Structure 1
């Protein structure tokens, strides 16, 4: 299975503490209209950590239904519990997702052998394409390229990695270890363009929640060898990328969606709290300068 271009790690709108299905469907439709290449419900940006399993299944189903096969849907389905990851992956498959985003088990800090057995166990119960998610800043574990190769060799379902270390040397080694046909996706908006240059094929992005066209166009420009346009778009997004991490993701991006009028307001579930008041003018200023407002 091939992944190519910009995939949005979708933010999940809430209303009165519950999933706002109408706003979510409208948001997905806007993303597709703006030219996004794929959608990723129930990732970190989608606040999957505070969704119940029932809610997670519903969010994925809504996304698949609304996408109507026009773009790929890569559903967040990982867990630090292998048994739980199997159940979530089955839910993603039943909903019709094209692939499952599988985070490396957080907190447990398994050995390389444990990682292999974790993904083998999921694939044995639910066979579908896997995108392995390497984000050591949240999991406490860095999936090194040699260990990723062990997983790829043992689990044929492993077709891609979302590499969120921001380490271009490590990203380049993924291609060296796993081959040029392996799907290397950026999970770090700051380094998308250079990651494409070392063999990457796209990005699972935070900033494309609010700038889907710019991120998609940048990837397309690079693939079309229009490197000047790609660089111009990368530079345009750079200050917005920084703003999206002025506080813990997804606080700034969901606040931005509210400011833009795409979400009615920016509701979060504890322990995530709203953007600090002193940061709101800074965020609005960045959005205005970028032409988003």
Structure 2
């Protein structure tokens, strides 16, 4: 039976409620010094604010080595009533010390992903519910190919979905060629993130035709120039018959972006983005993108 693997256990996909399909409660990178998401009380406040707007679930895409704080996720989920899905996986090489990457060379990377999906993250006992990897700007470097092949191997062992950070929204077709073509991952097990950052309707339609999931996440301080084009991109896909392949998320990656610190944060997805999309494609379509689609995208017949 298919289930979404949350930090409190496997749940029926129909029980997720309104889902932020791509966000971060905890996140830390040397590329964002001083903006780390580390504070548990701030994470709790963000979930409470999201819940107050009608939110029911958050999929955290924070991968290995980026401050996931897995042990803190179950109590936060219980205290706020918001289901949380954790991730395994690996981001771009620039987010890690070379020593960390060297320790993961060879077969160990896929084994790590499988272990975190089945046994738990570290000693926390919290099992990941997806694998997060990343591409580069209009290309896949050796690191991206290594991590994606390991993700594919872990998918074949567990059934877990693979969520992909697309750098500035680019490289979608190269990712699909590698994961689905070379590595044999079914397209419906692949989620492409950040497509709002590159509002290329031709590429969007080609990617959607493969059967993968397309995630539109934001707003983002660093990529706000394309935020206003997201409703048009979503409308074009919905009108082409791909409304059942779309996901929406907030992607809060810095402390300044949290609503409790003066930014838009998770609640903004429901408070402002949702009504803007309702005006573009209608309430029924947006409801499906935020409830039915996430349940289908992240539900797995776990092995």
Distance 2:215 2:69 in 1: 23
1:146 to partner: Cα distance: 4.4
Residues 249-269 of structure 1: CA deviation (Å, up to 9, x unaligned)? xxxxxxxxxxxxxxxxxxxxx
Tell me if the contact between 1:72 and 1:98 (Cα under 8 Å) persists in the aligned partners. Answer: no
Superposed counterparts of 1:176-215, under 5 Å: 176-179=206-209, 181-189=211-219, 190=227, 191-199=229-237, 201-205=246-250, 206=252, 207-209=264-266, 211-214=268-271, 215=273
How big is the shift at 1:168? 1.6
Contiguous gaps of at least 5 residues in structure 1: 230-293
Instruction: Report if the CA contact (8 A) 1:133-1:164 is conserved.
Output: no
2:53–2:267: 8 Å Cα contact kept in structure 1? no
- The aligned counterpart of 1:41 is 60
Q: Which of these residues, 193, 214, 235, is aligned with residue 162 of structure 1? A: 193
Q: How much does 1:166 deviate?
A: 1.8
Q: How does 1:37-186 map to 2 (within 5 A)?
A: 38-41=57-60, 43=62, 50-51=66-67, 55-62=68-75, 65=78, 71=83, 73=85, 75=87, 77-79=89-91, 80=93, 81=101, 83-84=108-109, 87=112, 90-91=115-116, 94=120, 95-104=126-135, 109-110=141-142, 114=146, 117-136=149-168, 142-153=170-181, 154-156=184-186, 158-164=189-195, 166-169=197-200, 172-179=202-209, 181-186=211-216
Give the TM-score taking structure 2 as reference length.
Answer: 0.52
In the aligned structure 1, how far is the partner of 2:190 from the partner of 2:73? Answer: 20
**Pairwise CA RMSD:** 4.5
**Correspondence for 1:29 among 42, 48, 66:** 48
SS of the residue 1:160 aligns to: strand
Q: CA deviation at 1:193?
A: 1.5
Partners in 2 of 1:49 and 1:136 — Cα distance? 22
SS of equivalent to 1:40: strand
Q: How many residues align?
A: 214
Question: CA, structure 1 residues 88+9, in 2 after alignment: closer, same or farther (shift >3 Å)?
Answer: same
Gaps of 5+ in 2: 5-12, 29-35, 94-100, 121-125, 220-226, 238-244, 253-263, 287-303
What's the offset of the Cα at 1:160?
1.4
Go from structure 1 to structure 2 and tell me whether the alpha carbon gap of 1:218 and 1:10 turns closer, same or farther (over 3 Å shift). Answer: farther
